[in-house]
Chain A
């Protein structure tokens, strides 16, 4: 108990030095929490945008579609009978918010003067409106079930064609039986999915109208939206088991399997975060080592005295490490508290970020302070304080007692 008290009193004996050490620890903890919290919010925002604008949580295809579907999409469509059975089954799960079919194909969109290659998605407008909450309507009106010929045009494509809302366009495509057909569509509005590449070539139209153009009653995929993203793996496993039990030749993909861009961005930012962690670590470490070495120098005769009284080298190390633990604990707790306050302040101020590369939407800075993030970085502060104390502590423990006693 007395040893701990001595460590505490040593922390307090040089207030300015302890204050500087605490500032260094807090700087590290606050920096990493703010950065980690910002990245976490960005990851979540990207993930939910991808899920709620394009992918849903789970997609269901005919077996073999992902391997061969790009060459022969018409061979891997889900038939109306299977569609009805699967929709009923999936909608019966309590974790599922909705299920909606999509028919995807490529085609040529023309306004009479120029033609552009487009990616077309036939959708159920009412359900898709609920699923694609991250798709922003930038001009005109949304698509409804009764707008049989209506279509939503990607913002980039809409601008390229230089058309007005309500303009009549012609969509040409290779049908399911291999012939070529065309249908007129009406541009009801322009949309932004959040991804510029998609917005430059994307058309959404009523599923029935798309099926008429493609001469089919089938759909390419069923998109499932869950109540909670965390349930994705569990629902995937459940559906796979149920489809296998019923002998349905279907395959499933989760949003994570499909979101390559999301994973690339996450990997990139995780790499950046690791580099920043090392930089912060180096700054904090050097700061604390410097102040602790000064403390060791100042207390050299005292170290000699304690050693003369019978303290082992380990006990000298323990004394300095205990001081570092005290500083680390105080610094980390203060760092976490200030980081929470700063995160809340920054989030509340709704500072808008510049549009990210490849994205078509801007967003406000949000900083998440999850318990996991706070705990991890709080422990980082404590750990770095302890690591920083090891060199000065070992240096103190290795002093020659007679020289230490003479030191003035």
Chain B
């Protein structure tokens, strides 16, 4: 079953009155449970693709569909609700809210879904436990290491049980060892939860964990390798 579908999607930007094509009539389908790595040089369109799938940007042409729902038909509020319920984000710089504890950071997306505090707290604690931070729930971001902060960000992304996690260079600010740990964690989560993952990355070591590798160049997919079957062994419902 497809989670994301892109049909002839184009996106261009103007840089100093000069149009730069970021995505050029791109077609792409992501299936449920896939662990997809998006590769490509800087400026190849990786981030633009993630922003469009994440309903944070609008294409100049074509259509982005999430669960067969065309994003172009949604209002800003509906896109917010879609992001809240179906998409999780992991950022390169972690983007945690500095005044909140790890638990509160993870709890916050649930509060946006109007889930009662007690229930949200419980789910946030479970998510932090899943990423191995059960003992750090009351620490603020400035009391955590880079790897720990990214684990909190991962917990924040999975706590709403989204359909797809979008990660833009999630290991770029981490050392090699921590990066491997983080990727192992994401791989485990993919297997355990059946979540679909789409990563933009430069790191080659990620490839061994991927079920599919997409390579972008000048706004086009130049390589689409399905390396193995779906890694997930159980569906989200299960």
A residues with CB within 8 A of B: 1-3, 5-6, 9-10, 12-13, 301-302, 304-315, 401-402, 405
Contact = CB atoms under 8 A, between A and B. Distances in A.
Contacts of A305: 89, 91, 95, 97
Nearest to B86: A310
Contacts of A6: 97, 99-100, 104, 108
Interface stretch (B49-57, B215-223, B229-237): B49-57
A307 B97 contact: no
A309 B56 contact: no
Interface stretch (B112-120, B172-180, B186-194): B112-120
B117 A309 contact: no
A310 B77 contact: no
Given A2-B108, A401-B56, A311 B99 contact: no
Contact of B80 (A1, A9, A302, A311): A311
Contact of B120 (A2, A12, A401): A2
Contact of A309 (B76, B89, B104): B89
B81 interface: yes
25 contacts: A1-B117, A3-B111, A5-B104, A6-B97, A6-B99, A6-B108, A301-B93, A301-B95, A304-B95, A305-B97, A306-B108, A307-B80, A308-B56, A309-B108, A310-B80, A310-B82, A310-B83, A310-B112, A312-B76, A401-B51, A401-B56, A402-B56, A405-B56, A405-B91, A405-B95
B221 to A, nearest CB: 21
B66 to A, nearest CB: 13
B16 interface: no
A5 B111 CA distance: 12
Contact of B107 (A2, A12, A13, A314): A2
Nearest to A10: B99
B91 A309 contact: no
B77 A313 contact: yes
Contact of B83 (A2, A10, A309, A313): A309
A128 B167 CA distance: 91
B77 A312 contact: yes
A313 B75 CA distance: 11
Given A2-B107, A313-B77, A401-B56, A9 B83 contact: no
Interface string B34-52: 0000000000000000010
SS class of chain B's interface: helix, strand, loop or mixed?
Answer: helix
Contacts of B113: 310
Contacts of B95: 301-302, 304-305, 405
A186 B8 CA distance: 111
5 closest Cβ pairs, A-B complex: A310-B84, A9-B99, A305-B95, A401-B56, A310-B83
Nearest to A301: B95
A45 B36 CA distance: 82
A7 to B, nearest CB: 10
Contact of B112 (A1, A9, A13, A315): A315
Contacts of A9: 99-100
B101 to A, nearest CB: 10
B120 to A, nearest CB: 7
Interface string B67-85: 0000000001100111111
Contacts of B89: 305, 308-309
A248 B201 CA distance: 101
Contacts of A304: 95
B104 A2 contact: yes
A12 B140 CA distance: 15
B33 interface: no
A389 B81 CA distance: 25
Contacts of A306: 97, 108, 112
A402 B85 CA distance: 19
A1 B115 CA distance: 11
Contacts of B19: none
B170 interface: no
B56 A310 contact: no
Contacts of A315: 80, 112
Given A302-B95, A401-B56, A405-B95, A309 B112 contact: yes
A299 to B, nearest CB: 9
Contacts of B100: 6, 9
Contacts of B56: 307-308, 401-402, 405
Nearest to B89: A308
Contact of A313 (B54, B76, B111, B112): B76
